[in-house]
Amino acid sequence: MGKRFYRIASGLIRVFSRSMTTEWVVPYEKGPCVFVVNHAGAIGPVDMMAKFPLRDICHPWINDGVLEAKKVPAYVRQDYWWKPGNFFEPLLNVTVPYLAAAILPPVLRSVPYVPVYHDQRIMLTLRQSVRVLQKEEALIVFPEQPSGWLSHHEWINTGWLRLGELWYRSSGRALKLYPVHIDREKHQFRVAAPVWYDPAKRFAEQEKELAEALAKGLRGE
């Protein structure tokens, strides 16, 4: 039922919203990879899972805070869902988090997701991600850190890049990372040239270089 709902919902989104084009800086090559994407507001993840041409093989990382109804209200309140100081903030604070708790978990669980934990369970996230890659499929990661309402820091979160180490140990292959910029004005996915995790280097030796290259691609530069 979950997969059927996802197929129907994503199909309806494609029918009743504007289509997106895709620009590949270099031709896409099949194989396990990670699409590293700018959030583009709440609509970015929706576009990736409903309109991205490779959506059928993609598994997005989704925070566990929006997968369990009891956790959703706290997640919404700290995630800049409305402009701080907004005149309607008191009303939004007592309505939106609970509406989201009723709607988001069942909808998101219909997506072929990988749950993201921010405690000792992070290893479950990484192991499930490796299993996805072993099937020659792809992951979607949104590594930007919110800095306020509708804004993000220039830097990106990098802890998830340790997946490159686990993938190499499992497969003996380097992990390919495609930066993706969602341009809402042009209605376009711009996929930059892939960035590779170098298994010959330690994580600390390449963390900054990888982060800078990926962040540049997310911005569409």
Judge if 141 and 32 occupy the same domain. Answer: yes
Domain boundary among the residues 108, 133, 163 is at 108
Q: What is the pLDDT of residue 155?
A: 76
Q: What is the pLDDT of residues 157-176, one digit of tens each?
A: 999 999 999 999 999 999 99
Q: What is the pLDDT of residue 10?
A: 87
Judge if 99 and 207 occupy the same domain. Answer: no
Q: What is the pLDDT of residues 172-195, one digit of tens each?
A: 999 999 999 999 899 999 999 999
Domain boundary among the residues 108, 140, 163 is at 108
Q: What is the pLDDT of residue 69?
A: 93
Q: What is the pLDDT of residue 83?
A: 82
Judge if 96 and 195 occupy the same domain. Answer: no
Judge if 188 and 206 occupy the same domain. Answer: yes
Q: What is the pLDDT of residue 149?
A: 62
Instruction: For 172-194, give the DSSP string.
Output: S-PPEEEEEEEETTTTEEEEPPP
CB-facing half-sphere around the CA of 85: CA atoms within 13 A = 2
Judge if 79 and 154 occupy the same domain. Answer: no
Judge if 54 and 26 occupy the same domain. Answer: yes
Judge if 178 and 189 occupy the same domain. Answer: yes
Judge if 8 and 19 occupy the same domain. Answer: yes
Domain that holds residue 45: 2-65+111-218
Judge if 76 and 182 occupy the same domain. Answer: no
Give the CA angle between residues 107, 112, 116 to the nearest 5°: 85
Low-confidence ranges of the chain (pLDDT < 70): 1-2, 147-151
Pairing of strands 58-63, 138-141: parallel
Judge if 128 and 178 occupy the same domain. Answer: yes
